[in-house]
Amino acid sequence: MVPALTERPPARDGGSWGSRPPGVPAAVPPPSVPLAFLAAASAGLVACGVAWIWARSAAAANPGADQVVAAVHFGVLATLSMGLLGATHQFTPVITGRPLRSLGLAWATFVTWLAASWMLPTGIATEQLGVTAASGALAGVAIVLLAVNLSAPLSARGKGAPVIALRFAVAGAMLTTFLGMAFVGDRQGNWFALSGHVDLAMGVIGMFGWLGITYVGVAEKLWPMFMLAHLPVRRHSGSVAVWTIPIGAVALAGGLGWSILGLAWVGAGILAAGLGAHLMSLWTHVRHRRRKADLHLVFVISSAAWLVVGAGLALAGTLVLAHHHDQGVALVAAAMAAFGGWLLEALVGHVHKVVPFIVWSALRARGVATGPSGKSLMFADLYDHRWAAATYATTTAGVAALCVGLGASLAAATAAAGLLLIVTGIMVAANLSLHPVRLLGPGRLS
């Protein structure tokens, strides 16, 4: 999603950026670390779109087909997970005030996750069991490296709900990954059909116990800054969300995995309460913001709307499933697409704030102090706002088309969604790259 900007050698403490300009927190990693993850996420979104176009007919006939599973994994692993891993490497040190344990571990995590996130869906699509098995092993290595690297900053005490959320997220990432390793370990053994809906349980843990709680935690830090929100002292919705979302996700996944209906409903209720608290926290930030409505706010509110749509589709699918199995499965698939839209819309919206902030620091470290107008370099100088608005349109329309395509078994709508996701990935990468690259041209470094 961004240019590959280089930096001077990092500080000796291993996980921080030694050449940072004034005002950048001491613990923050070099810009190339989060930017590499976010750039890879753009490529993953393009691959996801291509995969959905290829899987359009299979998705209409059977949402559980291998082509569909491959497209889902390009979206979840190569796009959402990759982007949120970048956010985790950037904001964990910022939130805790402590650097990563090692930049080498960060790069090793990036390389192994990049390989795993492309190999797994490719192996599933081509029915290459050796490739899927290798991807599972690489994913396991990547998550262990992540946990080791984040253990130093996440050991900080008294940092509030965001750090608690990130601790839950690391645990959820490990659980999801090792369930995934079991999934790819024997694709012919049909293990996940032996007891309940283990594949769906894995999806719940990954969507809410890892990716969702990561976003919820990071958002509690970013929303006040991006909205200039001065919040009431007595406010607990953010903390409620941080605690109840992972607990509800685990209970729901356990009920699905072992076919314990009562546990599944209890978990769904707890998860719904946590997501509701997350929405309440958003509403509080919006009410107390001092910044005028902007595109970031539109992205965030649209993201929240997809969460509501996903909950409605999931409930409808559950109620329909017993009487009309195929339609129920289609609605559940659409629900998962909507939940993915919750995170994708949030990710795309936030990178238009986060990436300019990171790139601005990198440009200042390279000596670039003025923007195209000759005035001081501002965040707004680093991307085209019209293209950003177009990106919002393609993101929202793409998620909507995918929900319709899966829920109504319409191959044309699924193909349209794939095309829109491709356009989104390309536009985000180009928009957030071209302006900074131009600023690094001849005569701009003095």
pLDDT tens for 46-78 read: 999 999 999 999 999 999 899 999 999 999 999
Return the structure tokens found at 88.
């985790």
Q: In Å, how far from its chain's centre is CA 81?
A: 5
Q: In Å, how far from its chain's centre is CA 321?
A: 29
Radius of gyration of the chain (CA): 21
Nearest CA to 53 out of 420, 430, 408, 425 is that of 420
DSSP helix/strand/coil, 11: coil
217, 87 Cβ separation under 8 angstroms: no
Helices and strands counted in the chain (H then E):
15, 0
**pLDDT value of residue 11:** 42
Average pLDDT of the residues of the chain: 89
Q: In Å, how far from its chain's centre is CA 66?
A: 23
DSSP helix/strand/coil, 156: coil
Nearest CA to 199 out of 80, 329, 32 is that of 329
Q: What are phi and psi of 198, to 5 degrees?
A: -70, -35
pLDDT range class, residue 440, cuts 50, 70, 90:
low
* pLDDT, tens only, 338-374: 999 999 999 999 999 999 988 888 887 777 877 777 7
pTM (2 decimals)?
Answer: 0.92
Which ranges constitute the DSSP H helices of 97-197? 103-126, 129-151, 161-185
249, 267 Cβ separation under 8 angstroms: yes
pLDDT: is 375 or 277 the higher one?
Answer: 277
Alpha-carbon span 233 to 251, nearest angstrom = 32
Q: In Å, how far from its chain's centre is CA 418?
A: 18
Q: Compute how many other C-beta atoms are within 10 angstroms of the C-beta atom of residue 102.
A: 16
The secondary structure element, H or E, covering residue 334 is helix 325-365
**pLDDT value of residue 349:** 97
pLDDT: is 397 or 26 the higher one?
Answer: 397
